[in-house]
Amino acid sequence: MKLRHTSWSGLCRWFACLGAMTCLPVVAQHALPVYTPLDITHPNGYLLAPPLSPDVLPGNGLAQHDFFYAGEGKQERMCIVRDGKIIWSYEHPASGEISDATLFSGGNVLFAHQHGVTEINTDKQVVWNFNAPSNTEIHTAQRVGPDNVLFIENGNPAKLVVFNTTSNTIDLTFDLPVGNPKSTHGQFRHARLTDAGTLLVAQMDLDKVCEYDSSGKVVWAVVVPGPWSATPLKNGNILVCTSKKSVLEINRDGETVWQFTAADAPGYQFSSIQLATRLANGNTLINNWFNQWSSRLDPNNLPVQAIEVTPDKKIVWALRSWEPPADLGPSTTIQVLDEPVTPEDYHFGDIH
């Protein structure tokens, strides 16, 4: 059916009147500032992100502890801080991300960086390197005595490997179960040896923490949604960080005997808690990782990279150091150096 001109004009006038009666707002055709829709209102009516951390932080800044620092970021950077200053730093010239790093008593550093495992000395020279095989990733590694390095290859199949750095041979390997063999990146990030010579593994895509002996047998396990890291404590318990922005201390009966969540630190915003360390003073050091791939730092609103909390969850130190001369970058691991340690003095079964 064809509309006559008079009918078409009347229809247009009817739609115009309808728009006026509904009082539809006219939107200006120009770009508007974009703000994070959280809970603080901008004077112009937009919603702004709240402060990511307090203006004044507890503790003594970089001078609170001596520590070794490494983080998962676009630059593979590590540093040593003593007396409040960076005394040594290194940037690995490769693609990937540092997910795990340890400073040894002799000064060497072992680090897993997605595409391999590397050990360097204090002069920043590579003393040992293992490249991840094709279609695999390596995100965690630990020295086993003076001659071996234990690491996990994310892949299909995923594998635990103990590599002899002296003979350049594999001394032990066995497959590890995963939830999705094809999703290599999301399988493992952290594993640690216990004093008993077993290995705690945070199995991210299986939602559990498993303890393996050197034969590959599971000797203990606990269900934990989204476990990122699992660290044995001197009291026999396990300290687990999860993708739920929480830290859980779990005993051998599978009970949570202590926990920390983002809600326990009002005024601080947490993006990802990857690792926690129980310090000699009984406090817990908790890392807060910032994702450089999906977010951009606001120099006027910076997050903390770590906090130290007492057993009753009081924050006694917060680390925020994003600017030269002490731009630490994102935080994955902080190894406190206040007391001498020998993190290479571990065994896995009979391997030591």
> Looking at domain 66-280+332-336, does it have CATH number 2.120.10.30?
yes
The secondary structure element, H or E, covering residue 11 is helix 5-21
Residue-by-residue DSSP string for 40-70: EE-TTS-EEPPPSS-SS-SS-GGGS--EEEE
Please name the amino acid found at residue 304: V
Closest CA to 123 of 94, 147, 88: 88
Phi-psi region of 114 (alpha: psi -120 to 50; beta: other; left: phi over 0): left
Distances (CA, A) of 176 to 61, 161, 179, 212, 276: 41, 10, 10, 10, 24
For the entire predicted model, the pTM comes to 0.85
* Cα 47 to Cα 179: distance, rounded to the nearest angstrom: 40
Query: What's the token pair of residue 316?
Result: 């006694």
Report how far residue 101's alpha carbon sits from residue 116's, in angstroms, rounded to the nearest whole number: 12
Structure-block tokens of residue 274: 């990857």
CA distance 278 to 237: 11
Sequence spans of domains, the chain: 66-280+332-336
Residues 71 and 328 sit within 8 Å (Cβ to Cβ)? yes
Give the integer Cα–Cα distance in Å for 169 and 156: 21
Which residues, in sequence order, are bridge partners of residue 41? 47
Report how far residue 222's alpha carbon sits from residue 314's, in angstroms, rounded to the nearest whole number: 28
Cα–Cα distance, 15 to 25 (Å, whole number): 15
Contact 223, 242 (CB under 8 A): no
Question: Tokens in use for 133?
Answer: 């095989």
Tens of each residue's pLDDT in the chain, 352 residues: 444 434 444 444 444 444 444 443 433 433 433 334 444 555 555 566 789 999 999 999 999 999 999 998 888 999 999 999 999 999 999 889 999 999 999 999 999 999 999 999 999 999 999 999 999 999 999 999 999 999 999 999 999 999 999 999 999 999 999 999 999 999 999 999 999 999 999 999 999 999 999 999 999 999 999 999 999 999 999 999 999 999 999 999 999 999 999 999 999 999 999 999 999 999 999 999 999 998 899 999 999 999 999 999 999 999 999 999 999 999 999 999 998 888 999 999 999 9
